[in-house]
Structures are given as C-alpha cells and as structure tokens.
Amino acid sequence: MLILFSCKSKKQASSEKTRETIERKIETNNQIRFDGMYVDACAARMKGNLEEASKLFSECKRISPDNNAVQYELATIYKLLGVNDQALLYAKSAAQAEPKNEWYQLLLIDCYNILKQYNLSVKVRETLVKNFPNKSDFKEDLAIEYAILGLFDKAFKIYEELEKIYGINEQITLNKTKLLKSLRKFETAEDELLRLSSTNVTETRYYSYLADFYIEQNEMAKAKAMYDKIISIEPNNPIVNLALHDYYSGLGKTAEAFECLKKAFQNPDLDAATKCTIANSFYDRIDGKEGSYYRENGAVLAKTLVHIHSESADANAIYAKFLMLEKRVPEAAEYYYKSAFKEKGNFNVWNELLIAYNILGRNDSVEHISAIAMELFPNSAGLYFRNGYANIQLKNYKKAAQSLKDGLEFVDSKLLMMDFYDNMGDAYFQIKEYEKSDRAFDDALKIDSDHTFTLNQYAYYLSLRKQNLDRAEKLAKHANDLSPDNRKYMDTYGYILFQQKKYKEAETWLAGAIKFGPKDRTILEHYGDVLFKLNKTNEALKYWEEAKAAGGSSDELIKKIKDKKLND
C-alpha cells in the first residue's frame, strides 16, 4: 500500500507542475499579444486611425480587463469619436482605480464637461487640488469652474490664496475684479485695480484697466484722469488716443474726438489692420447720417494711413476708394494697381481697378489687367466679359471672341449671358465668322426675344451682309415696335428697306431718324443713298457731304461724293 501511494503522489505532482507550466506559457503568450497590440493601438491613434485603435484597445481590454491604461486610452478615443457616454464610463473606471493619477482625473473632468455635468466635474477638480496642493494651474482651473457655476465667493477665495503665494499679479487681479463685478462689489473692484496700478506707477496698461472700469461705471471724469495719466507717460500712445476718441465722442465733442483719432493714425506703432478697419467704418457711413463728416474726415484718415503704411495692400485700396468718391479716378487707379499687385488674392481690388480703367476709357489697360486677373480668378465670368469687351474696342476681335467663349461656362445670370452673346455676335461678325455670329444672336434672343439692342444689332449686321433680309426686316420692325422713337433703330429698319429696294418706305424711316437728334454720319449717309435711288441726286450729294462733315471718312463715302453717284 505504501508503494502504491508513493507512485500516485509522484504522478499528481508531475501533473500539477505541467499545468503550472502551461498556465505560465499562456500568461506569457497573452502578455506578448497584449504588448504588441497595445503598441499597434497607440500607433493607430497617433496616426488618427481612431476606429482601428478602438478595436485594438478593446482586444487589449479583453486580455487584461482591469488594465487602467487601456481604459484611459479607450476613454480618450471615444471622446474624440463623440461617443461621450462610453468615454465617461471608461474615464470614470480609470480615475477611480488611480485617484492620484492626474491625467486620468483631467480626462474624467473633460468627459463630465462635455456632458455638461459641471457639478460632478467640479468635485473632481476639488480632489485634484487636495491631491496636488502645489499645482497652481489646478487651483486656477477650479476657480474658473466655480465662476462658471456662479460660485463667485469660492472662486474669489482661490484667487486670494494664489495672491498670497505670488503677490499682486495682473492676471489674478483682473480675474478678481471680474468676480467682484459679478458680485456687484464695485468699490472693492476699484480698490483691486488701484492696488495693481500702485505696484508700477509707469505701467500705462494698469491705468487703461481703470479707465475701462470707470467708463463701465459711467464715471467719465475719473476715466479722463486715467487717460491723462497715460498721456503724461506716453504722449503718443495710439491705444489711448483711440480710447480718447471714444471718450470725446460719447460727450459729443466731435472735433476733439477726431484730433485724437488723427494722432492714433499718425503713430506707426498702431498696426495697419486696426487703422484700415476704422477707415473702412468711415467709408461705410458716408451714405448715412452725418455722411459729409465721414466722407471728409475718412479721406483725411485714409491719406494718413497710406502715408504711414505705404506697403499695405489694404491701405492703398482704402485710399483709392476715397479718391474715387472725389472723382480723382487716375490717382485712384494708381493706388488700386499698387494694392492689386501687393495682395493678388483680393478679387474686389482687381475689379475696382478695372472699373477705374473703364471710366478712364483705357481699354488697353482693361485688356491687360483683366487677362492677369483671369489667371488669378479663372471662374469669374465678369473678368472674361471685361477682357472680351476691351478687345472688341481695341479691334482684337479674334481674342475677344475667344475670351467670351471661354467665359460662358462661368456665367450664372441671364442678364450677363445676354451681354456675352451680344458681344460674341459682334466679335464673330467682325472676323467674318457669320454662322457663329448668327448663332450667338439667336442664343441671346432665346433668353429675351424682346431685347431691343440685340434685335437691332442682329438686324443691322444682316443688312450689312445683304443676307436673310426678310429675317432682318422682322427683327428691326420688332425693335421699332418696342422702342418707337429710337433713331438708331429707325435707321436700321430704313436701311434694310433700302436693301430690299423699298425706297419710298426707306426714305420715310430714314427721314424720321434724321429728325430725332443731332447729325449722325451713318444716318446721313444712308439717307443720301436712298435719295440717290429715288433720283434725287443733288439732295443725295448734300447728305453725303453732311455725313463727311459729321465725321464720315470711309473710302466708299469719299468715292460717292467724288463720283456724285452711288456705287452698287
């Protein structure tokens, strides 16, 4: 029996040893898997692959359910994904397991705040302050949280504790003052600001805090005393001059207010952006009440602005706007040009520059600048139109047609589309691509069949080609029906009747056209042509000569006068 028992005991020991070995291997393998997945999960999170990171960390949690680091990571990822309930669940678990881990506590606070559970987040902050009494930023955050919850007294107490540690401090004083104002303890708030200013009697910023406070309390005399102190220390302080402008404006002292504003603008230390904002506000009020004040004084500010900040694109553009108001268009164009090339991305400036050149009749400049702008703003239909129109004026008809054709796809209004088609019809006519010209005018009339300019222009071009005259007559007649006393339209219709050899009718229409306004060389020449066909040679010659005197200079007209006859 002893031998048998001894044998059984050895087998059992061997089995237990094997089981322990297997368990250790499993544990080791799990740890290896955990470590690998944890590293991969962290890498995925850092790359922004949050879904992948979530899966890997969840697998880590399956291997090690109580691992606080994994729960912290899962809480962080769920917070980023906006799955706030899950984030809070994991954050709470990690924070409760390790109350002295500040990162876990801060994450829990974030999760509470996202869910607007401020009463719970403030409790965690209170624990943080107890556990880390030497971390002043935790105390400051707790004070802010108290203020958010309306616990102003508690917040104030923390700032007083911080002041005992650091002494009188600008930010602490400002925070205390804000709380005191919330508690409506205005005298105490004033005392705090006065204490701050006493720590450095040459620091003008402290006096500006007091000035702002006094203005809030409507104690204007005290505010003025603070401004005077600042000016005595820094006579050209631009910020104070801006504040004094507001101060005097509030008292209705317009002249004194503007003098302060001018001083601020004359100081190069005040940034161009602030000055531009103010100058623009003057421009925006020109059409309102007291418009003359803003127009006159805005121009002064804009001139000062561009003098001090000559390299500022915005400053040049603002001065150009005021110059345009004064109809000083050539100068305005110069400043718009400078602005456009200093900050090429401002479409409005390029557009204003083109408007200025257009007013000046500088078609070459319009063509050049619009071509540059088209490269910068390739989707702007207006730029293609300006380029096309300028090229028509410069008789670069092929370039005009191409620009207008390229810009069509960007047109988003029927009115502008009409202008495109009308000008395309013109350009294609001039380069004798008549089918394209007719198609453009037809497309225009599909948009508006009663557009008198299009009707007349299309009809006139057909008459010059002596093609499709029946169609031309209908178009011209419709234009005259819509606008009965327009001499240009009457001339077109009369000239078409002339081409159709309806000379008596043509004479009536052309005679009528002559009566409606000053002498026009084209109408005079057409009238002479029809008179010749009616065997009124002397009268015809008289009107041809009048056409020449009115500016007509074509070879055909000169030949008519010389030969005293119409050359068919």
Q: What is the pLDDT of residue 463?
A: 95
Which has more confidence, 494 or 100? 494
Q: Return the CATH architecture of domain 449-515.
A: Alpha Horseshoe (1.25)
179: pLDDT strictly greater than 60: yes
Q: What is the pLDDT of residue 4?
A: 38
Tokens of 434: 């008549």
Model pLDDT for residues 362-388, shown as the tens digit of each residue: 999 999 999 999 999 999 999 999 999
Q: How far apart (Å, rounded) are the C-alpha atoms in residues 355 and 414?
A: 22
How confident is the model over 147-174, as a mean pLDDT?
A: 87
519: pLDDT strictly greater than 70: yes
Q: How would you classify residue 275: left for phi > 0, otherwise alpha for psi between -120 and 50, otherwise beta?
A: alpha
Model pLDDT for residues 232-276, shown as the tens digit of each residue: 998 888 989 998 998 898 889 999 999 999 999 999 999 999 999
Q: What is the pLDDT of residue 105?
A: 86
Q: DSSP character for 234? A: -
Count the Cβ atoms, other than its own, within 10 Å of residue 113: 15
Model pLDDT for residues 108-117, shown as the tens digit of each residue: 888 988 998 9
How confident is the model over 467-489, as a mean pLDDT?
A: 96
Phi and psi for 396 in degrees, rounded to 5? -90, 70
20-133 against 449-515: fold identical: yes
142: pLDDT strictly greater than 70: yes
237-246, 306-315, 549-558: range with highest mean pLDDT: 306-315
Q: How far apart (Å, rounded) are the C-alpha atoms in residues 313 and 337?
A: 10
> Taking a C-beta distance cutoff of 8 angstroms, is the pair 335, 311 a contact?
no
Q: How far apart (Å, rounded) are the C-alpha atoms in residues 184 and 189?
A: 9
Q: What is the pLDDT of residue 22?
A: 52
- DSSP assignment of 126-159: HHHHHH-TT-HHHHHHHHHHHHHTT-HHHHHHHH
Question: Which of 73, 63, 4, 67 minimizes the C-alpha distance to 36?
Answer: 63
Tokens of 521: 């060389």
pTM for this prediction: 0.70
Q: What is the pLDDT of residue 335?
A: 98
The residues spanned by each domain of the chain are 20-133, 449-515, 518-568
Tokens of 377: 């703003």
Q: Which residue has the tokens 């004094």?
A: 244
Classify residue 132 as exposed, middle or buried by CB count within 10 Å of its CB (0-12, 13-18, 19+): middle
> Taking a C-beta distance cutoff of 8 angstroms, is the pair 410, 384 a contact?
yes
Mean pLDDT of the chain: 90
How confident is the model over 180-200, as a mean pLDDT?
A: 92
Q: Among residues of the chain, what percentage have pLDDT more than 90?
A: 61
Q: Which residue has the tokens 């000569």?
A: 545
Q: Which fold has domain 20-133?
A: 1.25.40
How confident is the model over 483-487, as a mean pLDDT?
A: 93
Q: What is the pLDDT of residue 21?
A: 56
Contact partners, residue 119, CB within 8 Å, separation at least 6:
149
Q: What is the pLDDT of residue 1?
A: 39
